[in-house]
Structure formats: structure tokens, C-alpha cells
Amino acid sequence: MEELANLFHGFAVVLQPFNILVMVIGILLGVIIGVLPGLGGANGVAILLPLTFSMSPTSAIIMLSCIYWGALFGGAITSVLFNIPGEPWSVATTFDGYPMAQQGKAGEALTAAFTSSFVGALFAVIMITLVAPLVAKFALEFGPAEKFGVYFLAFCSFVGMSKEPPAKTVASMMIGFALGAVGLDQMTGQLRLTFGITELLIGFDFLIAVIGLFGIGEILLTMEEGLSFKGRSAMINLRVVIQTWKELPRYWMTSLRSCLIGCWMGVTPAGATPASFMSYGIAKRVSKRGHNFGNGEIEGVVAPETAAHAAGTSALLPMLALGVPGSPTAAVLLGGLLIWGLQPGPMLFIEQKDFVWGLIASMYLGNVVGLIIVLTCVPLFAAILRIPFSIIAPIILVLCAIGAYSVHNSTFDVVMMLVFGVAGYLLKKCNYPLAPLVLAIVLGDKAEESFRQSLLASQGSLSIFWSNGLVGTIMALGLIALFWPMIQAGWSMLMPVKKGTRQE
Amino acid sequence: MKRSSKHFLLGAVAAISAATYFMPTPATAAWEPTRPVEFIIPAGTGGGADQMARTIQGIVTKHNLMKQPMVVINKSGGAGGEGFLDVKGSKGNPHKIIITLSNLFTTPMATGIPFNWKDLTPVAMLALDEFNLWVNTDKPFKTAKEFIDAAKTANGTFKMAGTGSKQEDQIITEAIQKATGAKFIYIPERGGGAVAVQLVGNHVESTVNNPIEAVAHWKGGKLRPLCFFDSKRVTYKEVVAEGKSWADIPTCKEQGLDIVYLMLRGIFMSPGATKEQVDFYVGLFRKVRDTPEWKKLMEDGAFNTTFMTGDAFTKWVAAEEKRHEELMKAAGFMAK
């Protein structure tokens, strides 16, 4: 067990007082970064990177990865309290987290989100510790066709699960695909749908769409409904943490499934966003209480958060082992590695043992420290909802505007955010679900890219999606997920329904 | 809004000029940044330009080469068009510089966006980036000739992955096809790192990665460089992998593949910069080039370390633009 010995050596490195101090500072900075929408983990790490140049590489990477953990934790806070996902992978958390907050259960939702994040991340770190070389090899199996399979699976496990009519879901998704197609076409190098407007050259950034659709849209809705936040009765003491913890072990099955989905998505560079959507979609299908998802089910918070963090954590593995970042934040961390003269890649595990195992040890400790910090702050966060709407709404608006501006340092984006806000309000009024739109903006162009890369490679033959066991299995799973309602219906026709298992 | 931004600009200009006016002027009266300097990268994170810019930022910070901080910002949208247009639109702001790759020429040519390098103020050529022909070590190819012969026999089924579409990697691929008659399926990826991993995973037969983008996989025993697309061998003698140094890798020309392509890693700044401002950055990058960190980067990435400023640099860029126009026209990559 050479790995274990290395890991304990890593713990010894991390447990120096200076490194622990660095860790706590990193987590706190990260939470603040995560709370501000738009100023995501990637930007935050990029801004704070120069701070670390005076430290040793190990202390520096501990600080940066702790900012990363902090940002991952922090992203859940605005999703639950204000329906504003600060990061792409927090979108699925809003589906049940925000309704819970509206019912006065913000404390429970936050506790569930933080705890699930911790579980997901811990699972992924353990996986990295034990099977790192094996997993890195698995990641190499993923060519364009396999990548498309993964995106296909993400879409399929999500389609047909919303309460709205399927036609509206499809319409919403199509709008998302159209928006996602704006900008440069990676495959041909041509501009699409820009109508000669240079600002559209870069396409619609996901964050601007989300801040507008969810954040501004929600404020408009609240204004219409009488200018006050629901859920002001949220419990604001630490007992809520203990009570929620008692409830959480019931969802061990969901947690485990979400961990596995997350690790898989994180290692194959698909990332945390498909992981969170896929995990939410599957939990809704499989769970006994699935029909109530979207109305404030705690399980609907557990599933996406666990998967997102398992993915976010395991995304660091391909970065270290292959030099390919699995997420934007990982990409900035990669930049940090290079500045310290560390070349990521297969040799890093051999040449820089201290560094790699110090980092892995800091993942364990950073998550523990992070969990303690954010959990003690739960009552504080929940108390934010007691501030009168007339005070908090302008603050949110300003934060949203800053967030939208900071994505590309462009005022055009702030205008776009407001347009998205009005659009979001109208779509909600007409009962069009927003989630499929968002999913399509985030993953649409990536799915298209892998699809066209695959077809280029196969010279136009669709058989490439069944050309080996791996891609075939993923595609088959996707089709099963897509037709699950019919499969279920067919199954129950063949088998006599057991009493009490179905409530509808 | 226009008005307020104008006011703001005026105010900023006034403030800066006031600041410079009242500052105790040393004998040389040199200009210095008075605000943080934005360093724009017209490409994504993890690629060659990004690695170089982030290394420079680290060097400037570590050796205290500038009183104001340097902030690195990736503006990769629209094949780098986002970054170029941003700097073009910052006329008279001497606190914005940009590092270039070949998309300085290819992006406006392929997309027709309103940009030309003459819109910016040239500062200096930092280095030229080399390109290698890379294959997976699982495959038997040891020389460029063996590989090209196999590609011909494969009759157009060999796949070449590269960064972006209608950019340098595809230009080189086109050149190989023209020179040899072998046909490749070109598969565009988002960045140099992802390109190298596709080759490690054997999803494609070859790439034309920059040395720095794939050197880690050479050291890891997964990839092998067959040749340099340069007119003469590089001079780095230190052993990298397989008992070979960069200097042991032949040029493609030696192997009968007569293609030379080097990529500019240069610095430009916003339009309307004064001579004093350009001189400051030239001096800054001269100091950067003298640091051991920079020398290590040059060696790791087998860079061609030509340095050029002033008229010589401007002339070089103009000639390079003309060459790219010919290459792009010949390949049919120009915007209609």
C-alpha cells in the first residue's frame, strides 16, 4: 500500500500550522466568491492566484484548492435562498432547494446541500487515492463519440421529467439550443447567428443567461406577488443541522448513485454540470417520492449537490494526470501549476510526490474544514431571508449586474442579463420550464461539437455511436432513460402492481 | 451611457496626466504604468499562449519587474476575436497588452470580423513557437517518412486532431496534404491540451501540437515527436525523453517533408500608444527574457528565441500577414 504511506506523508505536510491557516482563509474567500453570482470559482481563483506566488507550491495549491472547495460550497447558498445559481452545476439545486426555502426550510435545504457536497467530494477523493492510475486510463478511452454519448445521456435523463407539457419542454430546450449556437462555430471557424453584431461574436455566456433568467426573473415575480420573501419563518439556530442530519441517512441510495455518476462525469471531461442534471433526473425517476420533486423534496437537493461535488473533485484527477482540466476552475489551477514550474501530466505523480499527495491530503482536510465553517454559518445564511425585500432586492440586483459584467468585463452583458430577466419572467408566466433551456445553453454546443467530430471521424456514418462496447453502453443507457416512462408503463401492464408502491 | 463613459475616460486621462505631471520626474522621464496592467490572452486556458502569459505574469510578480500588478485575462471567444476587438476598442489606454498566436491573422481572415493587426500598436516579438509532428508510441512510426507512407496507404482514413478550425494546425495539415498527396481527416478540438490527449487515447493518428503542449506525454512515454516544422534543428541539447533531446529530433525538411511553419508569440498594445509607453513594455520584456524561469520555459517548449522590436518587428508581422493570406487563400479558408 504505497499510496497509503504517501497519503500519510501528505497529511504531515498539510498539518503544519501555516498550511492550516492558509486552508481556513482559502475556504472563507471561496465561500464569498461562490456567493457572488458571476464571480465563479474560475474567476476567483484567477484573481487570487498572484497572492500565492510568495508561498511554497504546496501551500499555494492548498490555498487555491481550498478557494475552489469554498466556492463549490458557496454556490449552493444563493441557489437555495434566492433561486440564483452562482455556478452552472448549482442550477439543479434550485429545483427543490428554492421551494424548500420558500416553505421556511432554508436551514434544512442548506444543511442538506452542504452535507451532500461533503459526501460527494469525500467519495471522489477516496476514489482518487485508491485508483488514480486506473481512472486516468479510463479517461483516455473517451473520444468524441463517447463524449457525445455522455451528453446524450444527460439530455435523455432530463427530458420528460418536468411537470410542464412535453411540447413546452421541447420548445424551451430548442430556444436554448438556438442561443447556444450563437457565436463562432468551432467546427468550421465560421460565425453563426451574429447578424454582424460584434458583441455576439462570443455567443451567450451561460452565466449571463442564468443570472437573468433566474435572478432577475425571480425578483420580477416576487415584486408582482407582493414584495416580500416567503420563508421568513426559517429556523435560525444550529439545531436545524442536527435535525436534518437525522433525516439524511434515509437517502443513502440516492447519495451513492449520485457519487458514482459524479465521479464518472468528472473523470471523463464532461464535468459537474451534466452530472448534477443527470443525477437529479435519475433520482426523480427512481425515487419513491419522485413525483413530488420540484416542490421542495430534500432528496432533490441531495442528488444534484452530491453529484456536482463528486464531479468537481474528481475533475482534478485528469488535470493532474493528463494535463487536461475537467472544469474551468481546474484550468486556472493548471495555470498555477505551470507558474510554479510543475508540468502536469503522467510524470507529475512520479516526479512531484510531495506536491501531489499534499494536494490530495488537502482535499480531505479542506473539505472537513469547509463543512465545519459553512455549517456553523447556516443560521446566518438563513437569517438573510428576514431582511425586508425592499432592502435585499436592490442589493441582489446590483450583485447580479456586477456578476454579469465581470464575466467578460462588458456592459453589453449587463443589458443582455436584463433582457434575459424579462424573458425569464414571461416564460415563467406562460409555464415554460427554464431548466431545459439552461441545460441546452450549457451543453448544447458541446454536444454538437462532439457529434460533428464523431461524424467527421466516421465520414458521416452513425454507426460510430455503436462502434465499441463503451459508447454502445452509454447510448443504450441514454435510450433507456429517454423511453423510461414507456418502459415503466409496459412493465406495470405485464406485472401486477404491488399495493402501495405507487401513489398516483 | 456613451456620454458617461466618455466623461469617465476624460476623467481617467486627466487623472493620469495629472499624476504623471506631479510625479517627481527622473532624468529619463520614462513612462510607467499607473494602474494594474491587463494582459489579454486571445485563447483559452491551458494552451500554449496561456502557458506563456501566465509564466510571464509569475515572473513579473516574483522579480518585482513592475510597480503595478499584472492581471491575466482570457478572452478566447470567437477564436480570439473577443480579445483582439477588446484591445482595439481601448484606444489610448496604455494599461492593456495582448499576447498573440497565429489567430492574429487567421481569425479576421476566416470570420471577416473588423480587425487587422495594424489596429494595434506592435511592441515586441518574444519568441517563435515551433510545431512538431506527433504520433502515439503504440504505433510503429519512427520517422516522418514512414508515417506519411502509411497515411498514403491508409487512403484518407488517418485522422489529424488540431486546435480550432481554419487556424495554424489546419493550415499545416493542408500544407502536408499538398506536399505529399496523403489525405487526412482533420478534427478540430478546443485547445492544445485536449488535442494531445486525443492522440494519447489513440482516437486520432497524429497531431501537430506545439512542443510545450505535448512534451509531458513524451516524457510519460505515450507520444513521440517525429520532426520539427522548421528550416533548421533547434539547439536544446538536454535529454528530454527516450534518451533524446530536442536537438536530436530532425526537421521535417530533412525527412523529405518540406514545410516550415513557426508561430508568432508577440506582444501588442492598444492603439494610439506613445513611444515612451511602448519603450516601457519593451524594457519590461527584455528583463523578463533575462530571468532563469523564462529560459527554462524556452527550453521546455523548444522555442525559437528570436527577439524583435520596432520597425524590424512591424516589417516581420506585415510579411507574415501576407504569407498567411496566401496560405488561407490557397486552402479556401477566407471568409466569403
Instruction: Give yes or no for a contact between A31 and A315, defined as CB atoms under 8 angstroms apart.
Output: no
A380 to chain B, any CB pair closer than 8 A? The answer is: no
Q: Which residue of A has its CA nearest to B107?
A: A189
If asked whether residues B66 and B9 sit together in one domain, one would say yes
Chain A interface, best mutation among B1, B39, B52, B54, by max A CB count within 10 A: B54
If asked whether residues B34 and B97 sit together in one domain, one would say yes
If asked whether residues B272 and B216 sit together in one domain, one would say no
B275-297 pLDDT, tens digit each = 999 999 999 999 999 999 899 89
Instruction: Let me know if residue B268 belongs to a domain.
Output: yes
Own/partner pairs, B237-246, CB within 8 angstroms, 24+ separation: B238/B299, B240/B215, B242/B218, B246/B211, B246/B302
Give which of A48, A95, A24, A11 is closest to A332, Cα–Cα: A48
CA distance A207 to A212: 8
Q: What residues make up the domain containing B313? A: 2-129+263-331
Residue B223's domain is classified under what CATH number?
Answer: 3.40.190.10
Whether residue B320 is predicted with pLDDT greater than 90 in this model: the reply is: yes
- Tell me how far apart the terminal alpha carbons of chain A are, to the nearest angstrom: 52
Bridge partner residues of B163 (DSSP): B189
Phi-psi region of A345 (alpha: psi -120 to 50; beta: other; left: phi over 0): left
A343 to chain B, any CB pair closer than 8 A? The answer is: yes
Q: Which of A6-10, A148-152, A229-233, A500-504 has the lowest mean pLDDT?
A: A500-504
DSSP result, A100-123 = HHHTT-HHHHHHHHHHHHHHHHHH
B167-215 pLDDT, tens digit each = 999 999 999 999 999 999 999 988 888 898 899 999 999 999 999 888 8
Whether residue A82 is predicted with pLDDT greater than 90 in this model: the reply is: no
A473-483 pLDDT, tens digit each = 989 988 887 88
If asked whether residues B93 and B147 sit together in one domain, one would say no
Here the ipTM equals: 0.82
Instruction: Let me know if residue B37 belongs to a domain.
Output: yes
If asked whether residues B187 and B267 sit together in one domain, one would say no
Interface of A with B in 72-131 (CB under 8 A): none
- CB-facing half-sphere around the CA of A165: CA atoms within 13 A: 5
A3 to chain B, any CB pair closer than 8 A? The answer is: no
Instruction: Let me know if residue B336 belongs to a domain.
Output: no
Instruction: Let me know if residue B256 belongs to a domain.
Output: no
CA distance A181 to A91: 21
Instruction: Let me know if residue B210 belongs to a domain.
Output: yes
Determine phi and psi for B304, rounding to 5 degrees. -85, 120
Chain B interface, best mutation among A187, A316, A322, by max B CB count within 10 A: A322
Are B215 and A343 a contacting pair at CB < 8 A? yes
pLDDT for position A30:
85
If asked whether residues B115 and B167 sit together in one domain, one would say no
- Of all residues in chain A, the percent with pLDDT exceeding 90 is 15
A144 to chain B, any CB pair closer than 8 A? The answer is: yes
CA distance A48 to A46: 6
Instruction: Let me know if residue B304 belongs to a domain.
Output: yes
If asked whether residues B61 and B167 sit together in one domain, one would say no
Owner of C-alpha cell 435519475: A282
If asked whether residues B15 and B93 sit together in one domain, one would say yes
Are B46 and A188 a contacting pair at CB < 8 A? no
Are A457 and B187 a contacting pair at CB < 8 A? yes
CA distance B185 to chain A (A): 7
Give which of B214, B200, B211, B206 is closest to B187, Cα–Cα: B206
pLDDT for position B57:
86
Give the gyration radius of chain A's Cα atoms.
22
CA distance B36 to chain A (A): 12
**Average pLDDT of chain A, as a whole number:** 82
Q: Least CB-CB distance to B54: which of A189, A339, A348? A: A339
Q: Which of B222, B248, B274 is the last residue of a domain?
A: B248
Q: What is the CB neighbour count within 10 angstroms for residue A501?
A: 8
Q: What is the CB neighbour count within 10 angstroms for residue A499?
A: 6
| Rounded average pLDDT over A42-67 | 75
Are A190 and B110 a contacting pair at CB < 8 A? yes
| Rounded average pLDDT over A349-374 | 83
If asked whether residues B65 and B38 sit together in one domain, one would say yes
How many structural domains compose chain B?
2
pLDDT for position A392:
81
Burial A112-132 (b: 16+ CB within 10 A, else e): bbbbbbbbbbbbbbebbbeeb
If asked whether residues B117 and B167 sit together in one domain, one would say no
If asked whether residues B213 and B290 sit together in one domain, one would say no
A55 to chain B, any CB pair closer than 8 A? The answer is: no
What the block records as the C-alpha cell of B108 is: 479576421
Longest dimension (CA), chain A: 69
A275-284 pLDDT, tens digit each = 898 899 888 8
Instruction: Let me know if residue B255 belongs to a domain.
Output: no
Instruction: Let me know if residue B257 belongs to a domain.
Output: no
Bridge partner residues of B132 (DSSP): B228
What the block records as the C-alpha cell of A301 is: 437537493
Whether residue A136 is predicted with pLDDT greater than 90 in this model: the reply is: no
Are B333 and A184 a contacting pair at CB < 8 A? no
Q: Least CB-CB distance to A201: which of B78, B216, B222? A: B78
Predicted model pTM:
0.83
CA distance A211 to A85: 7
SS3 A290: helix
Q: What is the CB neighbour count within 10 angstroms for residue A466?
A: 14
A195 to chain B, any CB pair closer than 8 A? The answer is: no
Chain A interface, best mutation among B166, B184, B203, by max A CB count within 10 A: B203
A201 to chain B, any CB pair closer than 8 A? The answer is: yes
What the block records as the C-alpha cell of A341 is: 514550474
CA distance A432 to A162: 10
Greater pLDDT, A433 or A255: A255
Whether residue A499 is predicted with pLDDT greater than 70 in this model: the reply is: no
Q: Give A47's pLDDT tier (boundaries 50, 70, 90).
A: low
Q: Which of B200, B216, B248 is the last residue of a domain?
A: B248
Residue B288's domain is classified under what CATH number?
Answer: 3.40.190.150
Q: Which residue of B has its CA nearest to A140?
A: B201
If asked whether residues B101 and B140 sit together in one domain, one would say no
